[in-house]
A and B are shown apart, each in its own frame.
Chain A
Amino acid sequence: MSTATADLHEAPAESGVNYLNASYGIRSWLLTFDHKRIGLLYLASITVMFLVGGVAAVLMRIHLIEPQGALFEPETYNKLFSTHGIIMVFFFLVPSIPATLGNFLIPLMIGARDVAFPKLNLMSWYIFITGAALALYATISGGVDTGWTFYPPYSSHYSATNVTIVALGVFVAGFSSILTGLNFIVTIHKMRAPGMTWFRLPLFIWAMYATSLIFVLGTPVIAITLFLLGLERILHVGIFDPAVGGDPLLFQHLFWFYSHPAVYIMILPGMGVVSELVTAFSRKKIFGYSFVAFSSLSIAVISFIVWGHHMFVTGQSIYAGLVFSVLSFLVAIPSAVKVFNWTATLYRGSISYEAPMLYALGFIGLFTIGGLTGLFLASLATDVHLNGTYFIVAHFHYVMVGGAVMAYLGGIHFWWPKISGRMYPDLWARIAAAIIFLGFNLTFFPQFMLGYLGMPRRYAVYPAEFQVLNVLSSAGASILGIGYVIPLVYLIWSMRYGPVAGPNPWKAKGLEWTIPSPPPTENFEEIPIVTEDAYNYPVADAHSYPDAPEVARV
């Protein structure tokens, strides 16, 4: 029964029992140790959080159609943008790809039966749910109006809203991240199948490993920072209060020490997904594998030493500004290297345009814009003018939404047949991807312009001269919203009515495509022995490469 070398193209025969139907009932889901089910528990939870944060965004954009505000008093608007930021950052973007696709795929991709600590994995989900419940409770019972950045003294002494409860919710959810990151690090180090050396790993794994390093090193710092803020609020002591010798800027340093690497937590997994999508849909080995792998690691490392670029106008010393500026330029280089490598992978590929590929290509384009606008902010002289304006808002939405969310959707679509055993309707998926792309650009490009014109962010009312650009942005947001709802509908539809997908509908390389869709609970009947590099697609021989379209040798 044992095979010395598993044939990676052959999948075991279908037996009908998979991780979805191996046991029934709510208890079997809520008490599962199976990483695949846990991934789906996270998928459901973060979809709910995305909808809450999304509703807040829609309300904000409708309100901003009028210079004097169309819907709300400033107090309510302030609570809306704070809720939008807190929910989207901590309860959607940070867990999104790692907790859903990461949990589902990492053991499959490395040839393991589960993660290193499955019980810890389930506990991580419960911790996340607790944090999310606290945050939602705080929102419903009065809201928070400090912004997701919680700057004191406003948050410690002046805001009369549910700051402590939300901070507690974020604090708790942080431990979910830490434990997930810990689990992934140990899994990737210790549970790779025989023959799966580091340099044969899919680039998604490299990206998840780099992300996990940030989880583990950065998240504890925001935890302690919010803990100190909470203590200051409850006990009225003065860590950040200048009246008793405290320093509000200390909070900012501690906060951004985590929150800058956090944005790389949000983008690195997306980059990992894009590496998988670009190779699968051009059926070609990635260009520059080791460069892409090492750039993930270097982004993770450098991300820890650039936090001061959020504080260029706080009155910090010129020397600090210079150091953080040069390092912030440095962190852009590995990202640029990745963009070039993905593009080069397409060269002489065999490219098809199903929805996941459209999302991946959209990512590359929008991340290029978003990343390059980061240079405007790394650059000291222009940051003085742009900090605190809509330029910043546009920049981070380009990378977070145009980047991370598009990659997330691309990944969900790509691995959907593996997760559910069904195919989704690709025509609708492509239409939705196009609507999202157009809606996104219409929403956020005008915001770059608003920023340079001087419109500050977090404004509930604004001077009338900014109205045209605001209306364009709001129009885009309505289109974007429709675009996001469409996949929700057809993905759920496909779970029941979609055509059955075989083990490898995309004919992609990777251990996850060698097992049935959906996979059995134990993943692999026999742990595979890996003998080839990642993305080892068959190549056309040199003479017959189809520059002439009619040549196609099998």
Chain B
Amino acid sequence: MTGLIQSGFDTFAAMIPLQPPAASTTAEGIDHLYQVLSGITAFFTVLIFSIIFVFMIKYRRRSDAQKSAATHTPLIVELTWTIIPSLICAVLFVWSAALYVQNGRPPASSTEVFVIGKQWMWHLQHTEGPREINELHVPVGVPIKLTMTSQDVIHDFYIPAFRVKKDVLPGRFTSLWFQPTEVGTYHLFCAQYCGTNHSEMIGWIYVMTPTDYAAWLAGGEKTESLAQQGERLFTQFGCNSCHTGEEGAKAPALAGLYGKPQRMANGETRVVDESLIQQAIYVPSSVHLPNYQAIMPTYQGQIDSDQMTKLVAYVKSISSEERNGK
């Protein structure tokens, strides 16, 4: 049955585009849900319009003296058309929520790309080093996780073909992931109004075969990885003078900290993620660990988003190294 509906949609879509290309692993699932929602909408619209149309003709007033029939409101009727829509809504909610939760979990093997949105362009940085502006080259079939922040106002990273979207906020990191399924070129849009050139904050996602991608990687300028650049900044800003990693140091050791829950001085426990690291650097008084004095100065205004991304990448790298026993 769904196959029939599917091929019906495909034929129609060939004539008038109804949806963007479905180029990620999650796109088809969302399209199916969308098609069912459209079907339900069409069904009830046609139902109501038809009933009204029939009643309009059958019960039209033929003379001014014509009276209507008495109105009886059987409870069963009211209950029926309350319960049936409720059941439909319940099914839709569960289906959609399941998709949403599932689609929200990036695979552990995802390759990470850092994204910085700023008025009015996208900076993208591969962990291996290459930097792109308004473009993202990725290999097909590989899950990619984007970790994103904004340098100024709220933006939104939207790739219609992958059916993924997430707001990009200043002062914190958000993330989305996708796994492209088809080689091709796809739109990238900013989807949260951000000022004058919001509609020009657009770009392209290039999904390439693995060989083409490797060639692209190799062909670019040789740069250090993000983590290596972060390590240099760690020294440059003097972080290592307090975060020495030794016993009795003024500041906590950072190796192995990322990704683990950490108890704060005020008693609450938070997981050390990108946002917490950024918060610790910009508003250190709000990230106060027990057994340490709250003496860390703020680096707000001294470290920009670009440098923050690298520092965060560095802190993450010294945790995975520790765990991998390197």
Contacts and interface: CB of A to CB of B under 8 A. Distances in A.
A388 B60 contact: no
Interface string B1-37: 0000000000000001111100000000110011001
Contacts of B68: 282-284, 348-350, 537, 539-540
A342 to B, nearest CB: 9
B320 interface: no
A145 B197 CA distance: 11
Contact of B96 (A248, A285, A381, A537): A381
A318 B169 contact: no
Contacts of A368: 44-45, 48-49
B194 to A, nearest CB: 6
A242 B48 contact: no
B103 interface: yes
A540 B67 contact: yes
Interface stretch (B87-95, B128-136, B238-246, B252-260): B87-95
Contacts of A152: 153
A372 interface: yes
Q: Is the interface of B mostly helix, strand, loop or mixed?
A: mixed
A205 interface: no
Contacts of B66: 350, 540, 546, 552
Interface string A522-554: 000000000000000111101001100100111
Nearest to A82: B193
A117 interface: no
B64 to A, nearest CB: 8
Contacts of B64: 507
A153 B61 contact: no
Contact of A242 (B17, B44, B170, B200): B170
Contacts of A350: 59, 61, 66-68
Contacts of A146: 193
The residue in B63, B95, B165 that gathers the most chain A C-beta atoms within 10 A of its C-beta is B165
A484 interface: no
The size bracket of the interface on A is: 35 or more
Contacts of A353: 56, 60
A171 interface: no
A456 B169 contact: no
Interface of B: 16-20, 29-30, 33-34, 37, 40-41, 44-45, 48-49, 51-52, 55-56, 59-71, 73, 77-78, 81-82, 85-86, 89-90, 92-93, 95-97, 99-101, 103-104, 119, 152-154, 156, 158, 160-161, 163-167, 169-172, 174, 187, 189-200, 202, 282-283, 286, 300-301
26 contacts: A74-B198, A74-B199, A147-B193, A154-B195, A242-B171, A243-B170, A287-B71, A313-B167, A326-B97, A336-B81, A340-B81, A347-B59, A352-B61, A365-B48, A368-B45, A372-B45, A376-B37, A379-B37, A388-B192, A452-B34, A454-B189, A456-B189, A507-B64, A539-B67, A540-B67, A540-B68
Given A315-B166, A350-B59, A375-B41, 7 more contacts: A284-B71, A382-B30, A385-B165, A460-B198, A465-B17, A539-B70, A552-B66
> Which 9 residue pairs are nearest across A and B when measured between Cβ atoms?
A242-B171, A454-B160, A388-B191, A348-B69, A380-B100, A379-B96, A381-B99, A459-B199, A284-B68
